[in-house]
């Protein structure tokens, strides 16, 4: 028993894969609720004009929009069709212009060529990946040598808020996260803590 009530379980499952009316509503809530962490991750990511940046688990697409505003092209990967559609609506012109490409998948394999992006960012999503080490290895494959990885994740050494279901959220400690990232070939370049969230930056081999 996780001790999380039925509503907590429902919301946690939706967070891992938003769908239907509730999923779409939660996506709209995230636009504000996760803005602070996303903006902090974006400040570390520092997207530049002409770059191509992959965001994994982009949710409603606000951060994709900020990457596009910075002049970079963006690729979004989502497991949720509802979030892919929401992100497309939020960034319609860039999608029409071909500056935004949206893919569906769970990150086990990235449908991208080797060394094809300058950076990857992933905020509040690594908890749900079926194989985080495998996805980080895929990130290492698709990021150009010296490119950037930014992962924002709750700190697994702190208690999970009671509203979140630990059978749905697998939250790594900083040690685990750094081990996964360095085992994938990256060099850690910085770690920031923002309340209960870690923002880990790394450089690709």
Binding site for ligand SAM (CB under 6 A): 15-18, 30, 34, 38, 56-59, 77-80, 83, 106-107, 123-125, 128-129
Measured from the CB of residue 94, what is the shortest distance to ligand SAM in angstroms? 17
Cβ-based nearer residue to ligand SAM, 123 or 204: 123
Instruction: Measure the CA–CA gap between 53 and 197, rounded to whole angstroms.
Output: 22
Question: Reduced to 3 DSSP states, what percent helix, strand and coil does the chain have, rounded to the nearest 5?
Answer: 40, 25, 35
Name the nearest CA neighbour of 85 among 29, 134, 161, 18: 18
Between 11 and 95, CB nearer to ligand SAM: 11
Contact (Cβ atoms closer than 8 angstroms) between residue 11 and residue 174: no
Least Å from the CB of residue 175 to ligand SAM: 22
Shortest CB 31 distance to ligand SAM, Å:
7
CB nearer to ligand SAM: pick between 100 and 123: 123
* Residue 139 or 145 with smaller CB distance to ligand SAM: 139
Kindly state the smallest distance separating residue 24's Cβ from ligand SAM, in Å. 11
CB 198 within 8 A of CB 191: yes
Q: CA–CA separation, 92 vs 76, rounded Å?
A: 13
User: Which of 1/32 has CB closer to ligand SAM?
Assistant: 32
User: Least distance from C-beta 16 to ligand SAM, angstroms?
Assistant: 5
User: How many residues are recorded in the chain?
Assistant: 205
**Is the CB of residue 143 less than 8 Å from the CB of residue 160?**
no
Q: How many helices (H) and strands (E) does the chain have?
A: 8, 7
Taking CB atoms, the residue at the shortest distance from ligand SAM is 59
């Amino acid at each position: 028993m996780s001790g999380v009530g039925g509503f907590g379980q429902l919301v946690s499952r939706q967070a891992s894969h938003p769908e239907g009316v509730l999923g779409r509503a939660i996506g709209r809530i995230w636009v504000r609720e996760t803005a602070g962490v996303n903006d902090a991750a974006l400040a570390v990511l520092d997207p530049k004009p002409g770059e191509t940046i992959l965001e994994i688990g982009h949710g409603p697409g606000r951060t994709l929009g900020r990457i596009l505003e910075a002049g970079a092209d963006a690729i979004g990967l989502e497991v949720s069709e509802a979030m892919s559609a929401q992100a497309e609506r939020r960034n319609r012109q860039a999608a029409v212009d071909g500056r935004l490409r949206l893919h569906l998948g769970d990150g086990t394999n990235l449908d991208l060529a080797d060394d094809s992006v300058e950076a990857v960012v992933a905020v509040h999503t690594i908890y749900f990946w079926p194989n985080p080490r495998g996805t980080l290895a895929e990130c290492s494959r698709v990021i150009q040598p010296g490119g950037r990885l930014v992962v924002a994740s709750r700190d697994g050494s702190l208690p999970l808020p009671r509203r979140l279901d630990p059978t749905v959220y697998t939250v790594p400690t900083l040690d685990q996260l750094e081990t996964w990232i360095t085992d994938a070939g990256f060099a850690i370049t910085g770690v920031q803590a923002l309340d209960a969230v870690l923002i880990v930056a790394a450089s690709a081999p």
